[in-house]
Structure 1
Amino acid sequence: MKLGVRSRVTADDVYDGLTTSVVSVDEGLRVSTINSAAEGLFEVSRRLVLGAPVVEAIPHFVPHERRLQAAIDSGTGFIERELKLSRNGTATLTVDLTVTPFIVGKKPGLLMEMQTVDRHQRISRDGTLQLQFDASRELIRGLAHEIKNPLGGIRGAAQLMEHEFPDSQHREYTRVIIREVDRLQNLVNRMLGPNRAPQKSLMNIHELLEHVRRLVQAEAPPEVALLRDYDPSIPEVVVDREQIIQAVLNVLRNALNAVGNDGTITLRTRARRQLTIGGARHKLMVQIDIEDSGCGVPPDMIEKIFYPMVTTRATGTGLGLPLSQYLIHSHGGLIECRSRPGCTVFSIYLPIEST
C-alpha cells in the first residue's frame, strides 16, 4: 500500500494551535515568537511586533521589564498567578504567567506562557448564563401560552359586544379592550422572540453595521456623534441578516438612550482568535463593540440586564437585550457588557465560519 507524503508541521503551526498565549523574547527582550492566541489577547499584529522590544510591542509588560531582564540574567524562571496586565485605553487582563528561560545557539531567551483567568471565568459564566437564559425562556413560553389563551377569549368577547351594542358609547369601551389585548399579545410575542431558525448566508458584517448605523443616525439628535472604527481585514460571516440587524439595532438604540441629547457612540470591529464560547472553540471570531459615553450601567445590574423584563430605564420594557442575546446565541455567539461612568461597551462575538 502506498502512503501519501505528510506535510511538514512547523513549530509556528503548533504554537498557533494552542489556546494558551505564547510569546518568546531573545536576550535583548525583543519579541522572537508570538502565537495567534497572544495576538488576539494583546490585540497586536505578528508582522509588527516581531523583532521589536517587548515593552514597545506589548506595552502591558512595561511594569515587568526589570523582572524579565533579571530572569534572562540569572537564567531563572518564575510563575505569577492572577497577574494584572494593563495599558492605557484597554481593559485589564488577568493571566497566569509562566516564564521559562531557554538557550538557542548559546544565546539565552525567555518563553512566556499566559493563560487568561478572565477566559476561564467567562467560559464558566457563559455556561451559567446560558442555562439561566434557557430556563427563563421556557418559563416565559409556559406563561405566554397561559396568557395568550384567555387574551384571545377576551378579544373575541369584546368583538361580540361591539356587534351586540353598536352604539358609540359601548364601542368606545370595546375598542379600549381590543386595543389593550392586542398590546399585551404583542408584548408576549416580543418576549418569545423569533419562532424560526436563522436563515444564514454569507454577509459582509460592515454592510450590516452601516445599515443599522444609518437607521439610528436618523433617530439621533444632531449633537450625538456616531463614529466608526472598522477592521477592513475581517472576512465575510455566515449569519441571518435580519436577525443580526435586529440584535445590533437593539443594543445601539440602548446606547442612544444612554447618551441622551449629547454624547458619542462608537461602532468598532476586531478579529479575535482562539475564543471558547458555550463549550465550543472558535479559531476566528468577529468582535463588534458598541461603546457609548453615557452614565453607565449600575454595578448591581450588570449581571441582570440580559434577563427579560429587567431594565434601568423607567420607560424601558426590558426585552431588547434579552432578545439580542437570544439572537446572537442562536448564531453560536455571545454578548458581553462592561461599564463604568462615561464608558459602556457591549461586545458582540460572532463565529467566522468558512463555507
Structure 2
Amino acid sequence: MSELTTPEILLDNLSTAVILLDDKLRIQYANHNAQTLFERSLNLLVNCPIHQVVATSSLDFGRFKNSSHYGEVYSDSEVTFKFTDGRYTQADVSVTNMADENKSQLLVEIRSVEQQKKISQENQQRAQQRAARELVRGLAHEIKNPLGGIRGAAQLLSKQLVSAELIEFTSIIVEQSDRLTNLVDRLLGPNLRPTFSSHNIHKILEKVCALVDLDLSHNVAITRDYDPSIPDVYIDQDMIQQATLNIVRNSLQALSEFPEIPGKIRIVTRIERQVIVHGACFPLCAKIQIIDNGPGIPAELQNTLFYPMVTSKKDGSGLGLSISQTLIGHHRGKIEVESWHGRTAFTIYLPIDKKETQK
C-alpha cells in the first residue's frame, strides 16, 4: 500500500464527514462520509462553493472567513444544516485552519448527531410499540370472545323470532359484531408469514404507482428517481407492495386536505451502506424514500405515528402506517420519518443479503 493512498483510505473510513475548503470557501476534498452527507460525488463537490450545497445553517459562515484569514480555530455543537435539496440535519462542527506559506485551507469536521438521536429514539419507540402491541393483543382477546358469544346468541334468537322487524334487529347485532371483529383483526395486523423470493424492487414500486394512477380522486404528480444498480432483494413482494402503498396513500390523504398546494410525491431508491436496524448493522440496504410536499406531520404525533389508531387525517383509520411497519419488520427492516412544513419523507430500509440474492 503506497503512502499516498493511506491517508485517503483512513479518511474514507472515518464516521465523521471531512471536507477541505480553500480561502474562497470552495470544497477541495470530501471523504466518503461527506459525500454521503451532501448526497453528491467527489467530482460534483470539488470546487463547489459550500453555499451551493448548504442552503441555510445556524453556523456562522463569517467565522469560516475569520479562520481562513486570521487562523481562528473554533467548534460549534448541534448545528442545523438545511441542504439545497430540502434535507435537514444536525451536527457538531469543528473548523481548523491549515494555512501554510503558500495557501490557506480550512479542515471542516462534521459529526452528525442525528444518527445517535435516531438510534436512541428508534430503541425507545420500538419498546413502546412492542408494549402497545401486547396491550392490543390482550384487549383483542378480551373483546373477541364476548363478541363471538353475542353474535351466536343473536343468530339463535333470530331463529326463534317470527317478526321481521325483530329479526332485523338481530341482523344488526350480527353485522356490528362482525364489523368490530374485523376492526380488531386489523389492529392485530397481518398474521401471515412472508413468502420470500428475489424481486426487483422497482417492479414492485411501479405496481404501486399504477394502483395510485387508477385513483382519479386526486391530481398529485408522482415522480420517480430510481437507482438501477440496486440488486434483486429477498422479500415477500406482496407485503412490500402493501407497505409502500399504505405510505403513498398516507401522503395522498395529507395532500388532499390542502388542495391549494400542487401536490407532489417523489419516490427515490438508493443503496445505503452500514445501516443500523434494531441494534444490528447491515452492510448493504435498499433504501426507498417516499417524499411529499405536504404540510408535514404535527409534532405531537411524530413519536407515536406508527401506533394503531393514531392519525391526523379527518377520515383516517390510523392503521395503514402501523401495518406498514409490521410488514417491514417481517423483513428485518425499518421505517424512518422526517417531517416539517413542505416536506415529509418516509424512508424504508430493506437489508440486502448477497447470498440470498444469488439464490
Match of 1:126 among 91, 98, 122: 122
Match of 1:248 in 2: 244
CA distance in 1, matches of 2:284, 2:21: 26
- Structure 1: stretches of 5+ with no match in the other structure: 1-8
Structure 1 residues 47 and 281, CA gap change in structure 2 (3 angstroms): farther
Kindly tell me the number of residue pairs found equivalent between the two proteins: 348
Following superposition of structure 1 onto structure 2, how do residues 15-30 of structure 1 map, counting pairs within 5 Å? 15-25=11-21
Match of 2:201 in 1: 205
Give the CA deviation at 1:320: 1.2
CA distance in 1, matches of 2:23, 2:35: 21
Give the CA deviation at 1:216: 1.6
Match of 1:136 in 2: 132
For 2:169, give the aligned amino acid. Y
Question: Deviations along 1:296-345, whole A, 9 cap, x unmatched?
Answer: 33332232322211222333221111111222233333333334444433
Structure 1 residues 103 and 222, CA gap change in structure 2 (3 angstroms): closer
CA distance in 2, matches of 1:322, 1:14: 42
Match of 1:265 in 2: 264
Q: Is the 8 A contact 1:55 1:61 kept in 2?
A: no
Aligned residue for 1:136, secondary structure, equals helix
Match of 1:230 in 2: 226
Bigger Cα displacement from structure 2, 339-348 vs 215-224: 339-348
Give the CA deviation at 1:224: 3.0
Bigger Cα displacement from structure 2, 39-48 vs 136-145: 39-48
Aligned residue for 1:115, secondary structure, equals strand
For 2:265, give the aligned amino acid. T
Q: Is the 8 A contact 1:230 1:267 kept in 2?
A: no
CA distance in 2, matches of 1:218, 1:52: 46
Match of 1:58 in 2: 53
Aligned residue for 1:82, secondary structure, equals strand
Match of 1:45 in 2: 41
Structure 1 residues 66 and 317, CA gap change in structure 2 (3 angstroms): closer
Aligned residue for 2:77, secondary structure, equals strand
CA distance in 1, matches of 2:292, 2:216: 13
Question: Deviations along 1:232-254, whole A, 9 cap, x unmatched?
Answer: 34333332212111111111112
Give the CA deviation at 1:55: 2.1
CA distance in 2, matches of 1:58, 1:260: 32
Give the CA deviation at 1:126: 0.9
For 2:118, give the aligned amino acid. R
CA distance in 2, matches of 1:28, 1:353: 44
Normalised TM-score (structure 2): 0.82
Q: Is the 8 A contact 2:98 2:105 kept in 1?
A: yes
CA distance in 2, matches of 1:108, 1:270: 39
Normalised TM-score (structure 1): 0.83
Structure 1 residues 75 and 282, CA gap change in structure 2 (3 angstroms): farther
Give the CA deviation at 1:70: 4.3
2:214 pairs with 1:218: yes
Question: Deviations along 1:19-70, whole A, 9 cap, x unmatched?
Answer: 3222234677554543332222111123432x32452773459976654454
2:301 pairs with 1:301: yes
For 1:116, give the aligned amino acid. S
Q: Is the 8 A contact 2:222 2:267 kept in 1?
A: no
CA distance in 2, matches of 1:94, 1:295: 21
Aligned residue for 1:127, secondary structure, equals helix
Structure 1 residues 252 and 232, CA gap change in structure 2 (3 angstroms): same
Bigger Cα displacement from structure 2, 192-201 vs 209-218: 192-201
Structure 1 residues 52 and 201, CA gap change in structure 2 (3 angstroms): farther
2:183 pairs with 1:180: no
Aligned residue for 1:297, secondary structure, equals coil
Aligned residue for 1:219, secondary structure, equals coil
Q: Is the 8 A contact 1:84 1:94 kept in 2?
A: yes
Q: Is the 8 A contact 1:72 1:108 kept in 2?
A: yes
Match of 2:149 in 1: 153
2:150 pairs with 1:191: no
Question: Deviations along 1:126-180, whole A, 9 cap, x unmatched?
Answer: 1111110000001111111111112222222223233344664443233222221
Structure 1 residues 61 and 141, CA gap change in structure 2 (3 angstroms): closer
